[in-house]
Amino acid sequence: MFKIASVALVALVSGSAMADSGFYVLGGLGQSQTSARQDQVNTSLRNLGVTDLESDDDAKRWAGKLQLGYQLLDNLAIEGGYTNLSHYRYASGAELDGEFMSREGKIATRAWNLDLVGGLPVAESVRLLGRLGTARYSLKFDCQGTGSDCENPHRKAKGNALHYGLGLEWRFAPSWFARAEYEVFRKVGDSLNAEGTTGTTRADISLTSLSLGYRF
C-alpha cells in the first residue's frame, strides 16, 4: 500500500510540475513581404547600360514558423525557433546594345531567432506582446538571363539581423492560446555592387502571421 501511495504521490507531483513547467510551443502561418530589392536590381542593370527597363516582382509569399518558449516571469518569456520566410521573385525585360534581354531571379530566406517576449495584459485572457532579439539568417540568391549573362548566378549570404515585433495573444483555454503578430527581420542579405555581379540585395523582411500555441 505504501509503495502504491508513493507512486501516486510522485505521479501527482510530476504532473503538477509539468503543468507549471513554463515551457510552450507554437506554430504559425502567414505572409512574408520584402521591399527595396526590385529597385536595387534595377539600378544595377541600368549601371550595365540597360535602357527601356521594365520589371516586376513577387514580394509577398506564404511563410511559416515554429517556436519554443519558456516563461521566465508572468509577463516575460524567452522564445526561439525557426522561420521559413519563403521566396522572393524578380523578372525584367529590357534593351541592351539594341537587343532584347531578360533577367529572372529568386531569393529564398530562412532564419533562426532568439528573442525576449514581453506581455502587457489588456483583458482577462488577452495580452499585448512585444518582442526584441536577433535572428541568424541564411539566404540563397539565384538568377538567370537571356541576352546578357547573369554573373555568379548562385550566391549565398549568411548573417545576423535585428528581429522585433508586436502582437496580440488570446488564451482561450487553460493550456491553449492563439496569436496574431507582425515581425520584422532587419537588413537581410548583402548589398549588390554597382553592376550587380556580386551581392544578394539587402532589405528588411516582414512577417504577418497567425499562430496556435500550447503551454505544458
Please report whether residue 82 resides in a domain. yes
Cell of 141: 540568391
Please report whether residue 60 resides in a domain. yes
Domain count of the fold of the chain: 1
Q: Which residue has the cell 550566391?
A: 155
Please report whether residue 5 resides in a domain. no
Per DSSP, what are the bridge partners of residue 68?
A: 25, 80
Please report whether residue 177 resides in a domain. yes
Please report whether residue 47 resides in a domain. yes
Please report whether residue 6 resides in a domain. no
Q: Taking a C-beta distance cutoff of 8 angstroms, is the pair 92, 55 a contact?
A: yes
The C-alpha atoms of residue 158 and residue 136 are separated, in whole angstroms, by 7
What are the per-10-residue average pLDDT scores of the chain (216 residues)? 37 42 97 94 91 91 97 97 96 86 94 98 96 98 87 95 98 97 98 94 98 98
The C-alpha atoms of residue 43 and residue 46 are separated, in whole angstroms, by 5
Please report whether residue 14 resides in a domain. no
CATH code, domain carrying 146 = 2.40.160.20
Count CA atoms closer than 13 A to 185's CA, side-chain side.
Answer: 29
The C-alpha atoms of residue 9 and residue 174 are separated, in whole angstroms, by 23
Q: Which domain range does residue 42 map to? A: 22-215
**Given this model, what pLDDT does residue 20 score?**
62
The C-alpha atoms of residue 186 and residue 43 are separated, in whole angstroms, by 21
Per DSSP, what are the bridge partners of residue 90?
A: 57, 105
Please report whether residue 41 resides in a domain. yes
